[in-house]
A and B are shown apart, each in its own frame.
Chain A
Amino acid sequence: MSSPGGSDPTRHAATARAASAADSRVVIVRPWTDAHGGGCCSGDTRDPVALDRRAGTPVSHHPAAHRVGECYQLLRHELPGTDVQIASPGNSAYLLPHVYRHLRPAVGRLRALWAAVQGTRAGAVLVDGRQVALLPDTEPHAVLAAVTAALRRPPTAG
């Protein structure tokens, strides 16, 4: 397995773009501790005003975020044709319809709705709306194996 860091960004950009024509099949929900600022004036404006990336400064990240980064890089490298998204657990405006839309044909409205609520779990790795791993507990290669297995199923299989 080659290093994700050595990947060609243009290759992935093109494949990701092609994949995003359809809805994303893989979504990683950010860990709860990888938090941002509040809304309105001053909302999430850490980068423009904070000291540059020294350890312990506001723009440095919790270790859990780095695990997400490792998994993301690995998935993008090993599954170049698969669009992988990262969303905040608070972004329910995206997560709820995403999970519901994927699962409703296979499991029905009520179970899809319940699964959609479950989809807002911080650290969840979702494939077609189903949680297949939980970060940061799961090792990146185990996440890759789980995602690869889940992707082999048709998108709406029950």
Chain B
Amino acid sequence: MPAAVVAAVVGVLYFLGYRYYSRYLADRVYGLDPAFVTPAHRFRDGIDFVPTNKHVVFGHHFTSVAGAAPIVGPAIAVFWGWGPALAWIVLGTIFAAGVHDFGSMVVSVRHNAKNIGTIASEVISKRARTLFLLIIFFLLTLVNAVFAVVIGNLFMANPGAVIPIFVEIPLAIAIGQYIYRTRSPALVPSLVGVLLLYLLIPVGQAFPLDITPLAEGLGFDQPRNLWVIIMFAYAFIASRLPVWLLLQPRDYINSHQLFIALGVIALGLLVGWNTIVAPMVNDVPAGSPSIFPFLFITIACGAISGFHSLVSSGTTAKQIDKETDTRHVGYLGAVGEGSLATGAVLATTAGVVATQADWEALYPDFSTASGGAVGNFVNGVAAFANNFGVPVDLAVIFAAVVVISFAATTMDTGVRLQRYVVQEISELVGWRAGARNLTLAGAIAVIIPLVMALLPGGGDAGYTFGVLWQLFGTTNQLTAGLALTVVAVWVFKRGRNPLAVAVPLVFLLAMTSWALIVNLRNFVAEGQWVLAPLDAVIFVLAMWLIVEAALALKGLSGRGADGTRGPGQDAPGTTTEAGEDVVTRRE
């Protein structure tokens, strides 16, 4: 089937989802009130709280959530066939991610734009804040570990990408300094940065840096691991720099690259009219992870991602002008992420090779599929670029540079955030050194994921990566589960039907728990004594979340929801049954 046709069908489904389902959510489930005075108006300070045009907020929100994660998961998950992977992406985006991103934004707007962790402690229980921090700790640990491995794999497969990526660091700093010192418009220097980055691609091709001899000389069993260590050393240093010095200019360059990559995929599909050569449902070899539940944790970002609830309830909620704008910003943000994931599926099933036999050689088993997934995406995008004349060799490095840039930025941000989490947990448990010493907190933030990333994993690097990715997906889905629980409780308290929220919540918790149990059994059987306890801890967190959700819903059903009160009928200036802090009406 032509990939462009599939993309068009998916586009129509997303349009219908936005047009009708998000309207249903807005009117019947969340009961949006256009007259509600949002926190952006009530606490307006021109710094954090700013009532902002929905198109401006969408630009901020989408670039905050889009990146490498919705590429990696789908690129692995096509192992089960493009049909199930795409079905989960489309259905997940419309019925889970849209509900989750949109809902967590609405709840935050109704709670003074507080973040989802704080709201959880108010709406569910005080313990939920601790649960939230622990889940985020594991989530960031796994994010940093898997992206270090992604970068290591891509550098090993594409040594021509090394020079452009490492020159990008001083280039971004120089651009940031130039914009800051000269007060130049930001667009031109950043576009020049993108251009210079791409001009370095032929240089990288001419001088590929393969570190295999050095790694072997240093005694590394897996040469990739030397890259992993280098990337963590980089992330540790980068996370200590001011955000505006390196992270912001590089992220700005990345935002251009995101649109360039999406444009290359779309144009390549149309010009080349590539056909999907992968099977719709793959007959996977015996012993492979089964579709249920593993597909649903392999694709997290792109179908539903708990990280989005953090962005939705963070800076985005503080900028919402009208409550009804949350539909545009939150639901469409999820659709944008789903579109990127769809592009990843098409690149790895239609772009990467020309025949089904060639495709099956790339995806013979789960281990190989996991280890090579991102490389397959890179080669797929390169093939699309080749459709309109870009030489394949250069196009491969271009695509690798795009993905590595995203992944390195995520690592930089992730290590920085993990340091904050370490500080906050240290504060909670009264460990002063961990709370105050940035170097110590930063070292903890780096060492734990570094150990994860260096795990030998049964002697097979692809296996380790596949397992780490699944654990990342699991914790990401747990974060989403926590946010959906908060949203469900809030919807129920308002006397509205929470089924649209409860169904994805139950589905996610079921898939997550199921996957954790299966993985735990496998890890114990294989003697994986690092992964098994990690899996067990995450399983305990999942059970904790299920108990908290059940207790919260049980408490509600005991009191009974007020089914008669609409959103416009709460008394001004009071705390409502739904736990909203302040309700003041416009006009």
Residues of A within 8 A of B (CB): 9-10, 12-14, 16-17, 20, 24, 28, 32-51, 58, 61-62, 65-66, 68-73, 76, 83, 85-94, 96, 117-123, 134
Q: Is the CB of A90 within 8 A of B65?
A: no
Q: Is the interface of B mostly helix, strand, loop or mixed?
A: helix
From B76-84, B240-248, B370-378, B458-466, the one touching the partner chain is B240-248
Contacts A20-B53, A32-B180 known; A46 to B46 CB distance under 8 Å? no
CB of A49 within 8 A of CB of B421, answer: yes
Within 8 A of A (CB), among B136-166: 136, 139-140, 143
- Complex alpha-carbon distance, A66 and B311, angstroms: 22
Cβ–Cβ contact B314 & A47, under 8 A: yes
Contact call B140/A48, Cβ cutoff below 8 A: no
CA distance A61 to B42 in the complex (A): 20
Assess whether A120 is in contact with B185, with CB atoms less than 8 Å apart: yes
| Chain A hits for B247, CB < 8 A | 35, 37-38
**What are 17 contact pairs spanning A and B, CB under 8 A?**
A9-B44, A13-B586, A36-B64, A36-B243, A38-B409, A39-B410, A40-B67, A41-B476, A44-B314, A47-B115, A48-B116, A50-B420, A51-B424, A72-B50, A91-B60, A117-B188, A118-B185
Residue of A nearest to B254 (CB): A39
B383-431 residues at the A interface, CB under 8 angstroms: 406, 409-410, 412-414, 416-417, 420-421, 423-424, 427
User: Of the candidates A69, A89, A94, which one forms a contact with B56 in the assembled complex, judged by CB atoms under 8 Å apart?
Assistant: A94
Given A49-B420, A119-B185, A38 and B251 touching (CB < 8 A)? yes
**CB pair B44 A12 closer than 8 Å:** yes
In angstroms, Cα B118 to Cα A83, docked, is 32
Q: Decide if A24 touches B53 in the complex (CB within 8 Å).
A: yes
Contacts of B185 in A (CB 8 A): 89, 117-121
Q: Which residues of A contact B56 (CB under 8 A)?
A: 85-87, 91, 94
B52-A86 in contact (CB<8A): yes
**A70 touching B60, Cβ below 8 Å:** no
Q: Is B478 an interface residue (CB 8 A)?
A: no
Other-chain contact of A123, B60, B116, B183, B585 (Cβ < 8 Å): B183
**B315 contacts A by Cβ under 8 Å:** yes
Asked whether any CB of chain A lies closer than 8 Å to the CB of B349, the reply is: no
- A39 and B417 form a contact (CB under 8 A): no
Report the separation of the CA atoms of residues A123 and B251 in the bound assembly, to the nearest whole angstrom: 19
> Are B46 and A90 in contact, with the CB atoms below 8 A?
no
Question: Given that A117-B188, A118-B185 are known contacts, is A46 also in contact with B53, CB under 8 Å in the complex?
Answer: no
Bound CA span A119–B310, Å: 30
**Most A CB atoms within 10 A — which of B242, B248, B301, B424?**
B248
Q: Collect the chain A residues with CB atoms within 8 Å of residue B121's CB.
A: none
Q: Nearest residue in B to A48 (C-beta to C-beta)? A: B115
User: Who on chain B is nearest to A28 by CB?
Assistant: B46
Closest to B117 in A: A48
Given known A46-B417, A51-B427, A94-B59, contact A39–B255 (CB-CB < 8 A) = yes
**B437 to nearest A CB, angstroms?**
14
Candidate in A9, A94, A123 with the most chain B CB atoms within 10 angstroms:
A9
> Which residues from B are CB-within-8-Å of A9?
37, 41-42, 44, 584
Chain A residues, CB < 8 A from B59:
87-88, 91, 93-94
Asked if B322 is an interface residue, CB under 8 A from chain A, the answer is yes
Report the Cα distance A146→B65, complex, angstroms: 37
Indicate which residue in A16, A45, A62 contacts B51 across the interface (CB closer than 8 Å): A16
From A17, A33, A37, A90, give the contact of B413 (CB < 8 A): A37
Which residue in chain A gives the minimum CB-CB distance to B315? A44
Cβ contacts under 8 Å, B322 to chain A: 17
Q: Is the CB of A39 within 8 A of B47?
A: no
Pick the residue among B37, B139, B190 that contacts A13 (CB under 8 A). B37
CB contacts (< 8 Å) of A94 on chain B: these are: 53, 55-56, 59
Complex A-B, nearest 10 residue pairs according to Cβ-Cβ distance, in ascending order: A40-B67, A72-B46, A69-B46, A48-B115, A35-B244, A45-B310, A38-B409, A35-B248, A43-B64, A89-B186
Q: How far is the CA of A119 from the CA of B311 in the complex (A)?
A: 26
Q: Are B67 and A43 in contact (CB under 8 A)?
A: yes
Q: How far is the CB of A56 from chain B (nearest CB, A)?
A: 10
Q: Is the CB of A10 within 8 A of B585?
A: yes
Closest to B585 in A: A10
Inter-subunit contact A10/B587 (CB<8 Å): yes
Which residues in window 34-68 of B have CB below 8 A to A?
A: 37-38, 41-42, 44-48, 50-53, 55-56, 59-60, 63-68
Chain A residue at minimal CB-CB distance from B184: A121
Alpha-carbon distance A10/B417, docked complex (angstroms): 36
Is the CB–CB distance between A16 and B321 below 8 Å?
yes
For the complex, give the distance between the alpha carbons of A32 and B247 in Å: 12
- Residues in B with CB closer than 8 Å to A40 are 65-69, 301, 406, 409-410, 413
- Contact partner of B46 (CB less than 8 A), chosen from A45, A58, A71, A83, is A71
CB within 8 Å for A47 and B315 given contacts A14-B587, A122-B186: yes
Kindly state whether residue B111 has any CB partner on chain A within 8 Å: no
Q: How far is the CA of A120 from the CA of B52 in the complex (A)?
A: 17
B172 → chain A closest CB, angstroms = 11
Residues of B close to A90: CB separation below 8 A: 63, 186, 190, 248, 251-252, 255
User: At the interface, yes or no: B305 with Cβ under 8 Å from chain A?
Assistant: yes
Which of A35, A48, A86, A119 lies at the interface centre, i.e. has the most chain B CB atoms within 10 A of its CB? Answer: A48
